[in-house]
A and B are shown apart, each in its own frame.
Chain A
């Protein structure tokens, strides 16, 4: 039989610096590349003529913009939220391009599987929706609409207010960060597991085991295509929840 030991967890998640004595590792590289790629896509798109029907990269960029406008902003914030489109577009592009290296050969690591990236994004969203709420309703109004949601019987406020407080102040950023991080890390660990399993089976000393290796390999192929979907879905959900939180802070009645 074969003995297969899972590698030490940090060896598949923690990466050493690419250059000696310069704090820049694979995750940082992916983040920088995400910025460069999105900026390049939009730069090339802008340089094309806007007169005729969009083709190629401009069509692609406009598709993304319209997806963010129609699929995220209009669905959650309505027409007033269109000013947030560039922010949500940045968020969507950045998260997607940080997720997708999880299945790209030689990268094989989603940058969002490191807590640092989702944590930063979630904290930023937390600051933004609180600041937006205070700006739109004032400190008192924002606290009132958040902690004392209208339409609740007075007696229930004893119960509702602490829950709403914990929800808005702690649970929202925490779940936002953990959702993205855990999804990507789980996907990453699953891919590693099945890759190691099929490798071990293909190289087994017992020749009978070699054909069995096709099973984990098929699972690996399936999981890889599933990760494509997850990478998109998580970016979409993160951006959409951001829009929901900001929209809720802007218009408390919704």
Chain B
């Protein structure tokens, strides 16, 4: 790895180096940003399904609240995606 890095450093201009670093960190940024919301949404939907199964008459209310919760949780992953785009392309 280090050898490759040194090779790249030897070959690449500073601008290219920066771009490579940005591209790599863009991948990490999105990957890391997706972990938390992934767990969160899974937990949230699972609990909502449990609630709906236990009390089918409250299903409408639970569903609305579930979508709201998903929207808030998902925002974190989406901000990660935006950071990815910013790092990679901007």
Contacts and interface: CB of A to CB of B under 8 A. Distances in A.
Indicate whether A and B are direct neighbours in the complex (CB within 8 Å): yes
Interface of A: 9-10, 71, 75-76, 175, 178-179, 181-183, 185-186, 233, 236-237, 240-241, 244
A236 B67 contact: yes
Given A9-B89, A75-B60, A186-B81, A244 B75 contact: no
Given A10-B89, A178-B75, 4 more contacts: A237-B71, A240-B68, A241-B68, A241-B71
Given A185-B85, A240-B68, A75 B61 contact: yes
B67 A240 contact: yes
A182 B81 contact: yes
A183 B61 CA distance: 25
B72 to A, nearest CB: 8
Contact of A178 (B70, B79, B89): B79
Contacts of B61: 75
Interface string B48-69: 0000000000001100100110
Contact of B78 (A9, A183, A236, A244): A183
Contact of B68 (A9, A182, A244): A244
Given A178-B78, A182-B78, A186-B81, A75 B71 contact: no
Nearest to B90: A9
Interface residues of B, number: 17
A181 B75 CA distance: 11
Contacts of A75: 60-61, 64
B79 to A, nearest CB: 6
Contact of B67 (A10, A186, A237): A237
Contacts of A241: 68, 71
B74 A179 contact: yes
A179 B67 contact: no
Interface in B23-57: none
Most chain A CB neighbours (cut-off 10 Å) among B71, B74, B82:
B71
Chain A CB within 10 Å — which of B61, B74, B78, B85 has the most?
B78
B11 to A, nearest CB: 20
Given A185-B85, A186-B81, A179 B71 contact: yes
B80 to A, nearest CB: 9
Contacts of A178: 75, 78-79, 82
9 contacts: A9-B89, A175-B75, A182-B79, A237-B68, A237-B70, A240-B68, A241-B68, A241-B71, A244-B68
Nearest to A236: B67
B82 to A, nearest CB: 5
B64 A240 contact: yes
A-B pairs, top 8 by smallest CB distance, nearest first, are A182-B78, A175-B75, A75-B64, A9-B89, A237-B71, A182-B81, A179-B75, A182-B82
Contacts of B81: 182, 185-186
